[in-house]
Amino acid sequence: MSEHGNFDPRLRCVMPFEAAPAELWLLRKRVRCELGQWGAAAVAEEVELIVTELATNVVKHVGEGAAATLVLEPRPDRLRVELHDKSHTAPTAGPGNCDEECGRGLHLLSAMSLEWGTLLTATGKAVWCEISLDPALHCVRVQRAAAVLGEYRRVVGADSVVVPTYAVLEDSVADVIADLLHWLAAQGGDPDDVLDRAQMHFEAEKEAA
């Protein structure tokens, strides 16, 4: 199996937020954090810009303080970005030379994405777009590890921090490894032997990269 290629479909993130200017920096920070954990930091700046434009449109056209939800979901070669709000009014881009008030953000969205559109939902709508992940195709091991770490933090109740720092995530990695070693020992295995083999695999793959 190749160690480079498609993104793990389990890497999905749902971020409820309040559509207010003061909250946008936190939303962008969490987007960058999630993409970094997935091995997709190469597209973080592009996605942050798109998310900012979509969230700003919610503030302007739905109302400041409106409840909204951002969804990031990687597909085999692209990242799907969805922003859900409680308005049933679909946005329109307007003429190509329009100003900010009539859809500058949507023209930017169209220019930066492979595809985009609007879906009406039972509770409102979702504006979505898909961004190429070609610049971010990364080691499949990083993606699998991100999925495992995210599930582990959910199981142990450690995912309450909106934007965990690197130090927090590093501690979680150590906890995952320790739990795996406890499991291995309980099955009669040799934790030291497995750690040595894992280190050898890591070093060999790092040299081959």
110 phi and psi angles, rounded to 5 deg: -65, -40
Query: Could you tell me the pLDDT band of residue 158, with boundaries at 50, 70 and 90?
Result: confident
| Residue 123 pLDDT exceeds 60 | yes
Residue 129 in this model has a pLDDT that exceeds 60: yes
pLDDT of residue 174 exceeding 50: yes
Residue 163 has pLDDT above 80, yes or no: no
Domains of the chain: 13-136 (3.30.565.10), 140-208 (no CATH)
Percent of the chain with pLDDT over 90: 40
In three-state form (DSSP H/G/I as H, E/B as E, the rest C), the secondary structure along the chain is CCCECCCCCCCCEEEEEEECHHHHHHHHHHHHHHHHHCCCHHHHHHHHHHHHHHHHHHHHHCCCCEEEEEEEEECCCEEEEEEEECCCCCCCCCCCCCCHHHCHHHHHHHHHCCEEEEEECCCCEEEEEEEECHHHCCEHHHHHHHHHHHHHHHHCCCCCCCCCCHHHHHHHHHHHHHHHHHHHHHCCCCHHHHHHHHHHHHHHHHHHC
Residue 66 confidence (pLDDT)? 93
- pLDDT per position as a tens digit, 22-49: 899 999 999 998 888 887 888 888 999 9
pLDDT of 63-112, one tens digit each?
Answer: 999 999 999 998 878 899 999 999 998 877 655 444 454 456 677 788 88
